Amino acid sequence: MTHHPDITALPDLSVGLGRVGPVRTRMPIYLDMLPPCNAGCPAGENIQEWLRLIKAGEDERAWRQLTRDNPFPAIHGRVCYHPCESACNRQDLDSSVSIHSVERYLGDQAIEHGWSFDRPHNNTGYRVLVIGAGPSGLSAAYHLARLGHEVEIHDSADLPGGMMRYGIPEYRLPRDVLDAEVQRIVDLGVRIVNNHKVEDLLEEQRQGRFDAVFVAVGAHLSKRVDIPNQDAKRIVDAVSFLRDVASGERPVIGRRVAVYGGGNTAMDAARVARRLGAEESVIVYRRTQAQMPAHEEELLEAEREGIQMHWLRTISSMEDNDITVEIMELDENGRARGTGRFEQLEADTVILAVGQESDTKFLHNIPGMRFEDDVVQVSNSTLMTDVPGIFAGGDAVPSERTVTIGVGHGKKAARQIDAWLNRHDDTRPAKHPVVSFDMLNLWYFGDHERRVQPETDPSLRVGFDEVVGGLEPDQARFEAARCLSCGNCFECDGCLGSCPEDAIIKLGEGHRYRFDYERCTGCGTCAEQCPVHAIEMIPEQR
C-alpha cells in the first residue's frame, strides 16, 4: 500500500532555515510497489514476503505465508516452470533468485516437521462440489474449506492428484511428496471420492444438495493423428503411456522408441521410455526447436539423458522396424510444410504426444453452457460459466495448461464462489505498479552466486528415483537473502543516514520510518539512495 502523508496537515514551508530554496517544491513519500516475482506468479504468492521470513530464520511462518495462496510448495518447488524467476530483477545483476528451490525447501521442511493447516473455526453451511482432484480442483477445495465451506471432490481416478500423479513422472515428483501435500487438504475436512466418474452434473448436484460447483477435470484425453501402420499396437498415446507407468505398469516398448510431438509431455514420455529400457529414444517434431511448446529446461534435461531431437520432421507411416518421416521446411509465414523428401528412422514403438483435450462431454447436456472445442467458456473475471453457480478452471477452460496456473485458477474460483454464495462483490483494487530493474539503486547489493540444487549424473538415471535434490538450510537462507526486496522497504537505514536535516524518524523494527515534514527540505537524497525504490519524490501539494 502506498503511504501518503496527510497533506492538509503539512506546515507552511515557504520560509525557513536550511531549505533548498525559499519554497519546497517537492516532498518524499514512502510507498510499497509490486515486485516482479509476485506479479509473475500464476498462483498469486507473496514471494517477496516469504523469502524475507526465511532470511529471518522463520521457516514455519514463511510456509504459512506461502500456503495462504498455494497449498503445494513441495510440489511446486519441483514442477513449476517458475515464471517468477524469469521476471526476477536480479537476473539483470547476476542471476535470478532460485525461488523454486527455496519454495521446495519450505515444502520439504513442512513435510519433515509435520506442519499442518489450521482448521477453520466457522461453518458457512454451504456445500460445494468439485469435479476433479487435480491441481486446480484440490486448490479450490483447499481455499473453500479454509473459508468455512463443506467441500466434496468427485474424481474418476483411483487416487487423487490428477496429472500431478498420472502425468508427471516420479523422477520429477515423488509420490510420497504428492501424498503428503494432498493429505493436508483431506485433514482440513475436504472429502475426496475416488473412482467416481460424473455423468450427469446437474443430477449429481441435486442429489448431493450442493450450492455451487467447480469443474476442474483436467486434460486427460490424447489427441490422435492418423499414421498408416501395419500393427496398431505399436502406436500408443503419451497420456495413457505415462498413466500406465505411474500406476505401476511396465509396458513393453522395444529397444527403439520415437515420440511424436514437441511439448512437455513428449519430453516426459521420451525420458520415461529410456528408463523402461529403450536404448534409443528420439523426439520427432514437425516444427523447429524455437517453435516447440516444451519449456527449455525440459528439452535440456531430455538431451542430457541422451534423447535425440529430429526437428522439422513429421511421421508419414510406420513399417515393420522403422518409420518414414517427411522432411519439413518453414514457409514465409513460419508455418511448416512438406518438402516431398523422406527418410527412415528405426522404431519399435511410436508414442503420440501431439496434444491433450479435456473430457467435458458430461457438461454438454446442460442448457446454456458454452464450449469452444473441448474447453468451457467462462467469465475471465469470475471463472463462472453462463450457468449460475457452476464455475470451471484449470485445463477445462482456455488457458496455458500447467500445475501452477491450475492452482491459481482454484484459488480464484474459491474466492469467486464464496462471493457468489454470500452475495457480495469480490472486486479487488488495482495492483501497484511493478518495479523494474532500472528503478533500483544497486550500489547496495553485491554480486552473490546463485546456489544450485544437486542433480543425479545423467549416466546414473536408470530408474525413477528423484533426479534433482533440495537445498540445505544454510543454502536456502543464503538464496532468500539474494532477494533485492524490489519496491518495498527492508529497513536498511539508508534514508535515515542520508538525510541532512534529520527529517526521518525510525519507528522501530518492523515498522519502518516516517517523514518529519517540518524538517524536510525536499532535497531528495533519501530517494536517490534508496536501494529498492521504496521512496519517491512527488510535487509539493498546497
Q: 0.85 exceeded by the pTM?
A: yes
Q: Which pLDDT score, from 0 to 100, does residue 400 have?
A: 83
Q: Which pLDDT score, from 0 to 100, does residue 85 have?
A: 97
Per-residue pLDDT for 227 more than 80?
yes
Q: Which pLDDT score, from 0 to 100, does residue 222 have?
A: 76
Q: Which pLDDT score, from 0 to 100, does residue 294 have?
A: 94
Mean pLDDT of the chain: 91
Same domain flag for 17 and 55: no
User: Which of 11-15, 155-159, 414-418 bottoms out in mean pLDDT, i.e. has the lowest?
Assistant: 11-15
Chain segment 126-180, per-residue pLDDT in tens: 999 999 999 999 999 999 999 999 999 999 999 999 999 999 999 999 999 999 9
Question: CB-based burial of residue 371 (10 Å sphere; 0-12 exposed, 13-18 middle, 19+ buried)?
Answer: middle
Mean pLDDT of 526-533: 95
Choose between 13 and 468: higher pLDDT: 468
Alpha-carbon torsion angle 219, 220, 221, 227, nearest 10: 110
> Directed axis angle between helix 296-304 and helix 264-275, to 10°?
20
* Domain assignment of residue 417, yes or no: yes
CATH of residue 13's domain is: 3.30.70.20
* Domain assignment of residue 136, yes or no: yes
Same domain flag for 375 and 317: no
Chain segment 167-211, per-residue pLDDT in tens: 999 999 999 999 999 999 999 999 999 999 999 999 999 999 999
Same domain flag for 208 and 152: yes
Q: Which pLDDT score, from 0 to 100, does residue 17 have?
A: 38
Chain segment 354-377, per-residue pLDDT in tens: 988 888 888 999 999 999 888 899
Q: Which pLDDT score, from 0 to 100, does residue 22 have?
A: 62
Q: Can you give the residue range of the structural domain that contains 93?
A: 37-115+440-481
Share of the chain above pLDDT 90, in %: 81
Q: Which pLDDT score, from 0 to 100, does residue 542 have?
A: 66
- What's the alpha-carbon Rg for the chain, to the nearest Å? 27
Per-residue pLDDT for 56 more than 50?
yes
Contact by Cβ (8 Å): 48, 38? yes
Q: Which pLDDT score, from 0 to 100, does residue 428 have?
A: 81
Per-residue pLDDT for 15 more than 70?
no
Contact by Cβ (8 Å): 67, 76? no
* Domain assignment of residue 289, yes or no: yes
CATH of residue 140's domain is: 3.50.50.60
* Domain assignment of residue 427, yes or no: no
Mean pLDDT of 410-438: 92
- Overall domain count for the chain: 4
SS3 for 22-50 is: CCCCEEEEECCCECHHHHHCCCCCCHHHH
Q: Distance between CA 276 and CA 255 in Å, rounded?
A: 9
224 band by pLDDT with thresholds 50, 70 and 90: confident
